[in-house]
Amino acid sequence: KTMSEEYKPKAVLITGAAGFIASNVAIRLVKNHPSITFVILDKLDYCANPKNLDPVKECKNFKFVKGDILSTDLVNLLVRQYKIDTIYHFAAQTHVDNSFGNSLTFTRNNVLGTHTLLECWRANQETVKRFIHVSTDEVYGENKEPEEGQSEKTGHAMGGVEFDESKSMLLPTNPYAASKAAAELLVQSYKHSFKIPAIITRGNNVYGPRQYPEKLIPKFIYRMERKQKLCVHGKGSPRRSYLYVEDAAAAYETVLFKGKIGEIYNVGTKDEISVLEVTKAIIAAYGLKKEEDNWIEFVADRHFNDQRYYISVQKLEELGWKPKVSFEDGIKRTIDWYKSNTDHWAEDDIAGALVPHPRRPLDIH
């Protein structure tokens, strides 16, 4: 799109923006676009933190509301009160380990939560002109790398067909991914049935400041700071692409202003690294490369651990976005941030996350 064709929202509702990725997105958007109002709706679940939004809490174009996306009345009230024209839906339960033990919470938050927001759009479709649904590359299921001679856009589990986000099958392999795929299917159904002006994104692993330490990189940083060994699932062989959160925030900013209605955009990098290589990189960043064997402890694997997710980001790059931060630099920045923000989470809030296989208590209200 040319600059003249860029989407120009006036008031954006961002769900889940006290969480990791969306807080970094909100900070970027609030600072870069002072003429647009950004309303944050977050229920402050265990992995969220109001401190994540401290950099913009005094900004005039920033509003924070504590509340649940499952409350139709609240969402409708906010849409009407702030004249919301865009819903950017990040709110979700996201940790695969938790989904093995507490999967009902994932269905409620990720599927029913998304459905609730879709109904709120339907009740306000005259004013809400865009609905951006943030999903995950895990909906594709496990896939393989391109074979020699194939283009980078191939490589999905379905074999040698050209990779196309909008036509690729969804083959999730864990309850978290299944809940995100179900949510996507609801969005797609509203596109067909009600003509919702929706965009879907599917993201790689993201790391960086403000991430709750149940995820690999911040967990290992916290464990290093506590002189604890790094607990690697299985042999550490699964390969992932890791995108630094500032690059991710820039990608979601690009999708907001330049994304095309009806499209699906993968958000990530082409660079892949195994869990064991990530572990060794963190140990090396602490200057302990020669002692790495003393810092690694191999533990039982997950019930099922996808070996890799291969995605193409060509469509997003065509909008003008490219990642800028190398993994080595991103790890250094991340470690520096956690060292400088040791009081960001209370000890009681993170102790249960730092074990090899964290589990949230069963919640079946």
Residues catalogued as catalytic: 137-138, 176
User: What secondary structure does DSSP assign to 234-288, as a single string?
Assistant: TTS--EE-EEEHHHHHHHHHHHHHHPPTT-EEEE--S--EEHHHHHHHHHHHTT-
Q: Classify the phi-psi angles of 149: left when phi > 0, otherwise alpha if psi is within -120 to 50, otherwise beta.
A: left
What 3-state class would DSSP assign to 166? Answer: coil
Rounded Cα distance, 155 and 161, in Å: 8
The DSSP output letter for 50 is G
Secondary structure tally for the chain: helices H, strands E: 13, 13
Instruction: Name the residue among 125, 141, 121, 148 with its Cα closest to residue 133.
Output: 121
> Hey, how many other C-beta atoms are within 10 angstroms of the C-beta on 99?
23
